[in-house]
Amino acid sequence: MRIVLTLFLTHVLLFGAIRHFSTYEMKGEEPGNKLFIIGGIHGDEPGGYFAPALVVQHYTIKKGALLVVPNLNFDSIVQNRRGIYGDMNRKFDHIDANDPDFELVTHIKSLITDPSVDFIINLHDGRGFYRSTWESAIFNPRAWGQAYIIDQKTIDDVKFGNLDKITSAMSEALNNSELAANYHHFSVKNTYTKDKDEQMRMSLTYYAITHLKPALAIETSKNITELKTKVLYQLLSIEALLKHMDITFERDFDLTLEEVERLLTRYGTLTINGRFTLPLSTARNALYFVPMHPQNNDFTFSHPLGTTIDRGSYHQVMIGNIPVARLYPQHFSLTCKAEKAVAEVDGTLRTVNFGEHITVKKTFKVIEDEAFRVNLIGFVTKDRDSQDGVRVQKTDFIPRFSLDEDQHTYRAEFYDNGDYCGTITVTFE
């Protein structure tokens, strides 16, 4: 399987979103049907974007293909708001060219109508719990949660056009699985969009079906407060649909609440300008003297929902709607050309590139080199300016200088004549 990541970062001049969505193409060895998974159209519905983020990171397609956009409305996701430029899911019949969402909506429409796509799902967390008859203010026909939303029963003469049948099978699969509570059971909600629902005529799924692309929305409930539960239901729903579409896959974890919870707190790494890699899962809330450019820094995340918000005095690191760390910068020109050092890691010599994150069992030493000065942050020496040629272990560091809350990870920084060259991130086991 291949994953092709195309990251479109656009800094739009006057109008327009700052963060463009990412597109992941996941192809099996064997050809087959293609499902397009769209997450994050509403920024305050994290079940809808953390689920596709896990698909991208932990699934391998064997037969058929996936196209995944986990973060359609990324600017709204980082603010945890439905839509900072208005409701994006009401912009699919018409959108003004000067609408900040124009570029995103135009781009996603072109992906939806791509001839290779067989089916589209749009992931949400919806209000309440959908029931076909009125039970209470939370359980009623006007609610959206725990339902598969279809605009009509069928799209005639289109492969997978029997939306009613497909979603009925998905409900049955979910309701036969182990739900965290009985009242979390799923239903099919038909909005009869063409005849009855003027609002839904502006939606993504209606745009798709009027272009003869089968589409539905998966809504877990906003009233389920635990993210892991919503994500579990989204993944179970996606898998039920994959089965129907004969798209086969492997995943590298068991689909249980415990495992989903564990994966949701794995934030991966952030690499800054290719010179410093910061592990994020256990990073301290605030990190000081982080070397970077005054402007236009390159922040590369391993997590599909990773991004930064510029807050002036610091950069707020986000994974989706979750604030992970504040980085207070120290500015350098970064003209230094050195890219690597030789180090002794547990007694073995090896070349380590700046920007690398290494694990050390016991001891670490940078081999002396005229090309740079070494600063082991949190390690104090009185008699020398450069800290190369010194073998160190974890207990040699002052714990408050660690990068992580667990006090295992420290940084070796390299300088040339006062300019910053790069960092080797060292985690002691």
Give residue number: closest CB to Zn ion.
124
Q: At closest approach, how far in Å is the CB of 209 from Zn ion?
A: 18
Token pair in block for residue 210: 């009027």
- Among candidates 213, 165, 209, which has minimal Cα distance to 67? 213
Q: At closest approach, how far in Å is the CB of 372 from Zn ion?
A: 51
Residue 260 φ then ψ, to 5°: -60, -40
Residue with tokens 């998966």: 218
Other Cβ atoms within 10 Å of 51 Cβ, number = 27
Q: At closest approach, how far in Å is the CB of 73 from Zn ion?
A: 10
Q: At closest approach, how far in Å is the CB of 45 from Zn ion?
A: 5
Q: At closest approach, how far in Å is the CB of 124 from Zn ion?
A: 3
What is the distance between the alpha carbons of residues 330 and 153, in angstroms, rounded to a whole number? 58
Residue with tokens 């006007």: 142
268 and 245 Cβ atoms separated by less than 8 Å: no
Report the residue number, 42 or 213, with the smaller CB distance to Zn ion: 42
- Among candidates 108, 91, 112, which has minimal Cα distance to 8? 108
Token pair in block for residue 333: 């020109």
Report the residue number, 42 or 284, with the smaller CB distance to Zn ion: 42
Spell out where 321-360 has E strands: 322-331, 340-345, 348-353, 357-360
Q: At closest approach, how far in Å is the CB of 219 from Zn ion?
A: 7
Report the residue number, 45 or 413, with the smaller CB distance to Zn ion: 45
What is the distance between the alpha carbons of residues 25 and 3, in angstroms, rounded to a whole number? 5
Q: At closest approach, how far in Å is the CB of 127 from Zn ion?
A: 9
Report the residue number, 45 or 388, with the smaller CB distance to Zn ion: 45
Q: At closest approach, how far in Å is the CB of 238 from Zn ion?
A: 16
CA 231 to each of CA 72, 304, 312, 400: distance values in angstroms, whole numbers, following the listed order: 17, 15, 33, 35
Report the residue number, 45 or 118, with the smaller CB distance to Zn ion: 45
Report the residue number, 91 or 124, with the smaller CB distance to Zn ion: 124
Indicate the angle between helix axes 163-175 and 227-244, nearest 10 degrees. 130
Binding site for Zn ion (CB under 5 A): 42, 45, 124
Q: At closest approach, how far in Å is the CB of 89 from Zn ion?
A: 6
For residues 75, 78, 80, 81, the Cα torsion angle rounded to the nearest 10 degrees is -10
Question: Which residues, in sequence order, are CB contacts of 156 under 8 Å at separation 6+?
Answer: none
What is the distance between the alpha carbons of residues 409 and 278, in angstroms, rounded to a whole number? 9
Q: At closest approach, how far in Å is the CB of 125 from Zn ion?
A: 7
Other Cβ atoms within 10 Å of 349 Cβ, number = 10
Q: Specify the 3-state DSSP secondary structure of 270.
A: strand
Q: At closest approach, how far in Å is the CB of 239 from Zn ion?
A: 21
Q: Which residues lie across from 3 on neighbouring strands?
A: 26
What is the distance between the alpha carbons of residues 143 and 231, in angstroms, rounded to a whole number? 19
What is the distance between the alpha carbons of residues 85 and 101, in angstroms, rounded to a whole number? 7
Q: Helix H segments across 255-316?
A: 257-264
The one-character DSSP state at 229 is H
